[in-house]
Every structure is written in C-alpha cells, then in structure tokens.
Structure 1
Amino acid sequence: MTSHAEEIEDEQISRIEKGKGRDCHGGIETVICTSPSIVCLGQKLIAEMIGTYFIIFSGCAVVVVNVLYGGIVTFPGICVTWGLIVMVMIYSTGHISGAHFNPAVTVTFAIFRRFPWYQVPLYIGAQLTGSILASLTLKLMFKVTPEAYFGTTPHDSSGQALVAEIIISFLLMFVISGVATDSRATGELAGIAVGMTIILNVFVAGPISGASMNPARSLGPAIVMGVYKGIWVYIVGPFIGILAGGFVYNFMRFTDKPLRELTRSASFLRTVSPNNSASNSKS
C-alpha cells in the first residue's frame, strides 16, 4: 500500500510529464524544463547542430586531407563523401528534426507552411553553431594552408559561381520536396535520393563554385578561417535556388489535386448520366 507522500510524488511526476510542473519556491509554472514541447524543440536543435557538425566535418575534412596528403582522396572521392555523410545524417536525425542542416531549406519550409516560423531562428542558430564548431575542429586538427582551405570561393568569376549555386540548389530543393514532403513518394528512400543529388551537384559545380548549396556550409569555414571572398554568392545563390525549387515543386503538387477532382467529377457524371439511368431501368 502506497503512502500519502508517495501518492503526492507520483502526482507531481505525472504533472511534470504533462508539462504542468510547478516551482517549489513561488508556485510559478515551470516552462523551460518541464514542458514537453520545449524538451522536444531542444532535441531537434541538438539534432540539427550535431547533423550539421558532422556534415561539415566529414565533407570539409576530406578536402583538407586530399590537399595535404597528395591527392589521395581524389575529386570523385570528395563528391562521394559529401553525398554519403548527408545521407547518413538524414537517416540518423531525420525522424527527430527533419534533417534540414541548411538555413535556406528551413526558411523555404516555413514559407510553404511546412515548418513553424518561430523555430526558424533557432534552427538557423543550431546549424551555424554546428558549422562553426566543425570548422574549429578542423583548424585544430590540421595545419590548413591556403591551398587546403576547406571553405567555398568562386573559382573564376562570382557571376559564374552564383549561377552554378542557383541551379544546383534548385535541383536539391526540388528533390527534397519530391521525396521528403510529398506523401505519394517513398519516404524511406529520401536519404538516398538527397545524397545522390549532392554527389551529382558536387561533380558538376564543385570545380566552379565549390558546390555549397548551403549558407551554413560556407559561413562556418569563412568565419573560422577569416576568408570572405565571394561569400555573398553562397548566401544569395542557395536561397534563390532553394526557394525556386520549392516553389516549382509545390506548384506541381497543388495542381495535381484539382486534376484528380476533375477526373472524379467526370467519372461521377458518367455514372449518373441519363443514358446510364435509362439502361439501368431497362435492366
């Protein structure tokens, strides 16, 4: 038989689990540590930070290693590494935070009402924190020479790099929208599809712009290493491309529903047409 004190303790634990715990000092509602929504948001931010950290760490580390150790990784190896780490982190944290890892993706989801606006600054902060921490780790691990700089700078002109970033960012968001937000797609394949898209984009645009597609990917190394050449390209380009990719796919998805409704209406009219009624009466 439980005592009265134990019953009170169980009731308090139950209230805490429901986010209704009270401060023992002033009877003030305790929100930060006892609200399930706050705890859930904290888990999402940690997942975004860790995911972004390992994407930047692995993808940028392979760039440094390739330069410092005589091209041992090769350019195709760099492309595959970027795709693999993105795929791995999507499957690791996608069910927790949605696996954005990209401020432009987060903003685009919010614009199309697939993500709450109040969480956007927090997600972006977590993504930038992960990128900066990964860049600091690489700076401490390696003696990074100017040739081994693991950030992104335009190879030739900023205009050429901007166009490349817009195009590959468009493709990235188009694929993300197709495999991760459309209920008709096979969601289990989202990580593979996005990872393969990253590999293709790095193959195509890597020698031109560095294939960033992600403001956090470029800002972290730039801040840590103090290299800001053409940094605006990697903020403007991904945002334009990703917004455009999301808009185009959502336009296609929205026009699908009216077409299906028209088809159903036509089928319904055929079933209740006078000819059908007459044939039914004769039978």
Structure 2
Amino acid sequence: MATEVVLNVNGDHKANEDSSGIHVSVPFLQKLVAELVGTYFLIFAGCGSVVVNKSYNNIITMPGIAIVWGLVVTVLVYSVGHISGAHFNPAVTLAFASTRRFPLKQVPAYILTQVLGSTLASGTLRLIFNGTHDEFSGTLPNGINNLQTFVIEFIITFYLMFVISGVATDNRAIGELAGLAVGSTILLNVMFAGPATGASMNPARSLGPAIVSHEYKSIWVYLISPVLGAVAGAWTYNIIRYTDKPLREITKSGSFLKASSRATSSS
C-alpha cells in the first residue's frame, strides 16, 4: 500500500509518525475537516473583529484588527498545520500546487472547503450581528481604484507566500517558528494595506462575505490578484531556494529548537 505524503508545518514532505515510530498517513477527509474548521474560525475571528469595530464606534481600531488576524492565523497553523497544511486560502493552495508541493487532484476539494468555511463563518456573523449591527465584513477598495487595489493585493500576497515558502517548505529554516512568521506577516500586511483594500490576500476571505451579503463590487480583483501574487511569491522563493552547500551543513541550523537542544546536551 502506498503511503500518502503530507505537507507538515516545518515543510517536510513525509508521512506523519505515531508514537511507535510507524509511518501513518492522514486521511483526505480529515484534511478537509481541518481546512473547514480552520477557515471557519479564521474568518469568524478576523471578520468578526471588522464587524465589531464598525458596530461599536471603532473600539477595536485598525491595529487591533491586524492583531486579531495575525493571532488567529498563528494559533490555527499550530493547531491543524500538521493535519492539513493549514492553507485556509485558495491562493496558497494553488501556489503550492503550481510548485508541485501539493497534489493537484486535491486542489478543487480544498478550495471548495475553504470557500464553504468562509461562507459559513460569514453567515454566522450575519446572524449574530443583524439589525443595526449588520455590517459588511468583506473587502472593498477604499478611496482607490481597482487597478491600485489589484497591485496592492498582488504585492502583499506575494510577500505572504514568499514568507510561507521560506519558513514552511525549506528545511534550512526554523520550522518550529513558522506559525509566528506567517501570523506576523499577516499582521504587518493588514496594518498598512487594510485601510486601503481590506488586505484580503485570500479569495475565500473575500468571497464568503460577498456571498452572504450579495456584495460583489470589485470581487474579481480579490479573486485574481491574490492567486497571481501567491504563485509569483512561491516561484520567486524557489529561484533562491537552491544552494551549493552540502546537505550536512544546511541541516545543522535547520531547527532552532534542535540546535538549542544539541548545544545544551554538549555543554
């Protein structure tokens, strides 16, 4: 029987191991459930902060919204990253598939699951905050045109995918800190791009609220630009990934925790 290959948070393309050291694979259905739950809570927390901020006189503020997005991504990466890869984003899934780091045949199911999770979370928020607190939690250009929005979304998604490729798919990186790096990147992007575009970086993040609220203005920008930005970011990192150093050298510092453990045991 063939062993299924999964993408772990630390970037290793290998099967998971149980406590006995036997290689085991994660069933595809479990991956989809992890993506569904992860995307749901990502959108519920992130878009929830947007709705609460609009409904209660900007009590959370833009920096607060950015912190919520960054923290929820960090928590979810560490919670289910070892199960599904913690994509929660069709742009990330497509970028991984384009660089052959994710099975192409699983892409449609992942994307449908992510959009479903986003739509369910947006619907939940709509039910909770109805009446006078019924605020649109999606993404719209604010004072800029579609071309400007397209460029900004492309750049910030490129940046996000470049970081993901570095910390989550390269064994030389500090894999245990991947969640913090990705969450911090989300936080930074929302801080400076949020007021202008909503800092989507994620087609599912924009499409879910749009479906629930029937607000499709400029939606094509938020569907196409993040995908192009993520694919470009993944391929750009692939260009600089390769090195002439021998494997024994590049794996010495590939893990901060392992390196610290070795230093402690040798002292």
Structure with more relative contact order (C-alpha pairs < 8 Å, separation 6 or more): 2
Equivalent pair of 1:176/1:194 in contact (CA under 8 Å): yes
Q: Which residue of 2 aligns with 1:165?
A: 153
Are 1:114 and 2:101 counterparts? yes
Listed one character per residue, the Cα deviations across residues 4-58 of structure 1 (whole Å, up to 9, x for unaligned) are: xxxxxxxxxxxxxx9xxxxxxxxxxxxxxxxx97x71000000000000000000
Q: Which residue of 1 aligns with 2:110?
A: 123
Matching residue's letter, 2:82:
H
Write the mapping of 1:129-168 to structure 2, written as runs, cut at 5 A: 129-143=116-130, 148-155=135-142, 156-168=144-156
Matching residue's letter, 1:260:
K
Matching residue's letter, 1:132:
T
Listed one character per residue, the Cα deviations across residues 218-251 of structure 1 (whole Å, up to 9, x for unaligned) are: 0000011000010011011101111110010001
Equivalent pair of 1:154/1:210 in contact (CA under 8 Å): yes
Distance in 1 between the 2:240 and 2:79 partners?
Answer: 30
Q: Which residue of 1 aligns with 2:87?
A: 100
Distance in 2 between the 1:77 and 1:145 partners?
Answer: 22
Structure ranking higher in helix proportion: 1
Q: How far did 1:148 drift?
A: 2.8
Alpha-carbon RMSD: 1.9
Matching residue's letter, 1:71:
N
Are 1:89 and 2:76 counterparts? yes
Distance in 2 between the 1:150 and 1:115 partners?
Answer: 30
Identity of aligned residues (%): 59
Equivalent pair of 1:152/1:212 in contact (CA under 8 Å): yes
Distance in 2 between the 1:107 and 1:198 partners?
Answer: 18
Q: Which residue of 2 aligns with 1:276?
A: none
Q: Which runs of 5+ in 1 are unaligned?
A: 1-17, 19-35, 265-283
- Of 230, 233, 239, which residue of structure 2 is paired with 1:242? 230
- Of 210, 223, 230, which residue of structure 1 is paired with 2:218? 230
Distance in 2 between the 1:137 and 1:192 partners?
Answer: 28
Give the aligned length.
224
Q: Which runs of 5+ in 2 are unaligned?
A: 4-23, 250-267
2:217 is paired with a residue of what secondary structure? Answer: coil
Structure whose CA Rg is larger: 1
Write the mapping of 1:1-283 to structure 2, written as runs, cut at 5 A: 40-143=27-130, 148-155=135-142, 156-254=144-242, 256=243, 259-260=244-245
TM superposition outliers: structure 1 runs of 4+ over 3 Å: 144-147
Distance in 2 between the 1:242 and 1:114 partners?
Answer: 13
Matching residue's letter, 2:146:
S
